Structures are given as structure tokens and as C-alpha cells.
Chains A and B, each alone.
Chain A
Amino acid sequence: MADVIKNRYEFVILFDVENGNPNGDPDAGNLPRIDPESGYGIVTDVCLKRKIRNYVETVKEDSEGYQIYIKEDVPLNRSDNTAYEYLGTDDKGIKDLKKKDPEVDRKICDFMCRNFFDIRTFGAVMTTFVKAALNCGQVRGPVQLGFSRSIDPIVSQEVTITRVAITTEKDAEMKSTEMGRKNIVPYALYRTEGYISANLARKVTGFSEEDLELLWEAIINMFEIDHSAARGKMAVRELIVFKHSKELGDCPAYKLFDAIEVKKHDDVDYPRKYSDYTITIHEEQIPETVEVLRKI
């Protein structure tokens, strides 16, 4: 097994969107998510995790140890494999097995962590057979992401579009085009903060140095394989990594995050491109033992 990570990390991701919808809000007819009080745009943690999973799935193609547990689209129906879930053993069998091998929970957990990149990274809840007391429990992964928020308030713009292909015969008799809507953000720069606990990596999931490199690669490229009509132009602009010298870390996370200042230029009223912002890393606020890495 590869080397488990030995340092605590924190990271800041800056990504932008141009004429696209980074994350639709199911509560608001798929409009870009907006904090109603302040007008800042939001992208949820799970949205980015989905993209990281997709990237890893694409490059690793389910190779050994890099399977993805939560897939977006699969050729097989899940009901097909529910059958074999019960083939191997049933409630009773598991009880016997547990008597013979009290470590079975731990073994299943390790097995899942070894095989699935996303469980090793983000964790998973594995508590299906509570009745039979088979409970491999909750795995907390070392990588933790917060919500992303835009640097400035965003405006979502509704673009009405037409299409000439009509869905039903009946509609086709009555009209020749149909109207549709797209909701876009003209431009926005978002900031996300993330944490990696080396303790959880060592004691629970075995998240390794190679996994970490793959995670950085996935974060940098997560939008490169996620182009679609809705997204517009999205790109990760900065990945700033703080590497602590110790497993537990050297200083509070908020001090490191505060050391990164992202500011719109004073003469810009409506930011429309990445160069409308400057990114400053206040090195003087960062302890010397913390290594700052700009990955892009």
C-alpha cells in the first residue's frame, strides 16, 4: 500500500464561470444558486465533489483501487445487482460470521476504502444491515469541502431561446418553434475552502500521497471534462495549497484562509473576466512552517 499522507492540508480553489450556470438551484427553477440576503452566488460542496468523482472515473476507468462508488450514470440497473446482495449470505449467515470473526466490520470497511477512491477521500455511510448488527459504520473521509461563494454578488440573466424541432405531433400542427429558457451568470469568480485531515487518512481510510496528487489533478481539471450547454465556460483559476509541517497542523485554518485576499480592481464596476481580480497571498500572515503551494 502506498504511503498514507502525513501532513494536514488546507486548500483554496478559485474558479470562474462565464456565461453559464455553475450550479442550478432546484428550489428556484434551476436558476443559479444565490444567497437571497446578500446576492452572492453559491456552489454546493456536493456539486464539486461530483465533478471530482467524474474526473477520477474518467481518467482511471475503474482500474483497481480507483473505482467510484457513487456514479452518475451506469449501464447496469441497480436492481440487477440487488439480487446478488442477498446471494452471498443472509441475516443469519452474517450473525454466524460475526461470531466467528469479530473483525468483519473493520474488514469490510477496509475493503471498501481500498477499492473506492471516493470512499477513501470523502467517506461514506455504510450501515445497511443494522438489524443483523453488521455495521461497517460511517467512514469519515479526510477531505472536507465547504460551500463555494462568489467574491462579488452575482446577477443571473435569463436568456430565452427558440428551437425549431417540436416534440409532439400535436404541437407541430399549431406552431413551428418552441421557446425555452437558459439561466446564465455573465461572469462570477467563486472561492471554495477545503480541509484534509491526515489523522483520518492514517486511522480510517488510508488516503495516500498518490491519492492526494490525483485529487489535486482532479480539482484542477474538474471542469475540463464537464463542458455542457448549461455550464458555459468554467475553469479553475487557482488552487492554493497549505501544507502543514505536522499531522495535526501548525496554525488555525482560518488564519491561512484569511491570508488569501481576492479583490476586484477598484475601477471595475462589473467584473467580466478573471483579470478584473487580483489575488494576493499575504505571506507575512502565514507561519514559516506552513508551505504554500500554488498548483496552477
Chain B
Amino acid sequence: MSRGVRVRVWGDLALFTRPEMKVERCSYDVITPSAARGILEAVYWHPGMKWVVDRIYVKNLIRFTSIRRNEVKSKVSASSALTVMNGGNKPLFISSRQEIVQRAAILLRDVDYVIEAHFDMTEHASDEDNPGKFKDIIMRRLRRGECYHTPYFGCREFPAKFELCEDDTVATEYQGVEKDLGYMLYDFDYTNPEDIQPMFFRAVLKDGVLEVRDQEVVR
């Protein structure tokens, strides 16, 4: 029973923010393994399993565009929410006129990827859970287009369309090309919830394929 799956995801725009340029956001050249995992989790996830991204096929040419928007710079203050909750009936809001800031973002456009991934079982799996069951649910959801919530490319305003990829070979614009993308975010290490650590890897796009398996991960 194979635990692997291939999913084609595509959309008009995408923004996989580089952590070093997060104020005026700038996207990585291609989808990060963690964003790919997020897309798969939007389709199906269960505490008893975890997704591992193996390879990413980049089908379209990497192209950028930019957009500047008015954004708010503050967040909901948990402590003021708590005050109001405990009886202090005061106004609780953000005034966008005062808390406004303009930020540009450099986005990817016309993206089209195939994500090759598999899942591993975790210790949270109960006795009834087994890989066959998860695989069945995943395949059913991919075939029917069902999802927990609509997957997205980095930010929720860039929705991702998805379908099960059943082709044996994936056509890519980067056939015969090797492109070094530098260090890219691999994923976050959530093992200690008090101290979540980012992990990076050296991304090399070879013949349109970003190999994620067996990569050296740098913290």
C-alpha cells in the first residue's frame, strides 16, 4: 500500500514570503516544502498522520509581479480582549485610519506545481487508524475536490486549485536546466512549542524538479 500521492496545484498568484524580507514581502522563486505541506493539510489532515513532501515539480516559468496595498500594522490585543471579556465594556477595535501602513509585495504569477508527498503515521494514531484508511480518504477527497478549507499559495487571497495528478511524467519549462535557488525555508520544527525553530535547505531546481527528500537541513 503506497502512502505516496501526487497533487497538481495551480493558480494565478502566489506569495511564499522570504523570512528575511517579510515587511515588504518578497516571494521565494518556488513554493516552499512547508507551504506545500500546508496545501496538503488543507485537503486532509489527522493527528494520526503527518505529511512529508518529497519532490516539487515546477511546471511554469518563474515570473513575478508586484502589488502595494494598505494594510493594518496592529494585531488584536489579547489582554484588552480579556479586559472587555471580564466586564469592562470599552470599545475594542483597530482604527485603520491610524494604524494603516502601505506595503508592497512581490508575488509569483501563473504558478503550476505538482507536489509529490507521502504521509507517515504518528503516535497519536488510534488503534482503528491505519495507512490504508488515510490513503482512501485522501484519494477520495482529491478525486472529488473536497477539502477542509480552500488551500492557498502562501496567503489566503491567492487560492490554489488542486487535482489529483495521475500522469506518469510531468511536463516542465525547466527541462535540461539546473537552477540554484539558494537557501530556502524547509519547514518549522514544532517539537518544542515554546521554541519553534525554522529549518532551511539548499534548494536546487534540476530539470524542473525540486528534490526535497534527503536534503541536509540547516537551522
Contacts and interface: CB of A to CB of B under 8 A. Distances in A.
Given A107-B85, A146-B158, A81 B145 contact: no
B159 A195 contact: yes
Interface in A20-45: 25-27, 33, 35-37, 42, 44-45
Contacts of A107: 85
Contacts of B68: 25-27
Interface string A100-124: 0000110110011001000100001
A252 B66 contact: no
Contact of B97 (A35, A72, A85, A193): A72
B139 interface: no
Tell me whether chain B's interface is mostly helix, strand or loop, or mixed. mixed
A112 B79 CA distance: 12
B24 to A, nearest CB: 11
B72 A70 contact: yes
Interface in B47-88: 65-72, 75-86, 88
A87 B86 CA distance: 12
A175 interface: no
B62 to A, nearest CB: 14
Interface residues of B, number: 53
B186 interface: no
A207 to B, nearest CB: 12
A254 B85 contact: no
Nearest to B95: A74
Contacts of B148: 197, 199-200, 248
Interface of A: 25-27, 33, 35-37, 42, 44-46, 50, 67-74, 76-78, 81, 84-89, 94, 97, 104-105, 107-108, 111-112, 115, 119, 124-129, 133-136, 140, 142, 144-147, 149, 193, 195, 197, 199-200, 246, 248-255
A85 B77 contact: yes
Contact of B94 (A71, A133, A136): A71
B219 interface: no
Given A127-B78, A144-B150, A146-B12, 19 more contacts: A26-B70, A27-B67, A44-B67, A46-B71, A46-B157, A50-B96, A69-B92, A72-B95, A74-B91, A85-B79, A85-B80, A111-B81, A125-B75, A126-B75, A136-B81, A142-B149, A253-B150, A254-B163, A255-B145
Contact of B80 (A27, A81, A104): A81
A71 B91 CA distance: 11
A128 B145 contact: no
A140 B96 CA distance: 20
A112 B82 contact: no
Nearest to A108: B81
B102 to A, nearest CB: 5
Nearest to B43: A248
Contact of A252 (B12, B84, B163): B163
B145 A146 contact: no
Given A27-B104, A147-B12, A136 B90 contact: no
B39 interface: no
A231 to B, nearest CB: 16
Interface string B152-189: 10001111011100000000000000000000000000
B104 A88 contact: no
B82 A70 contact: no
A131 to B, nearest CB: 11
Interface string B129-148: 00000000000010011111
Given A26-B70, A35-B65, A85-B80, A67 B157 contact: no
Given A71-B96, A254-B161, A89 B79 contact: yes
B145 A252 contact: yes
Contacts of B96: 50, 70-72
A146 B95 contact: no
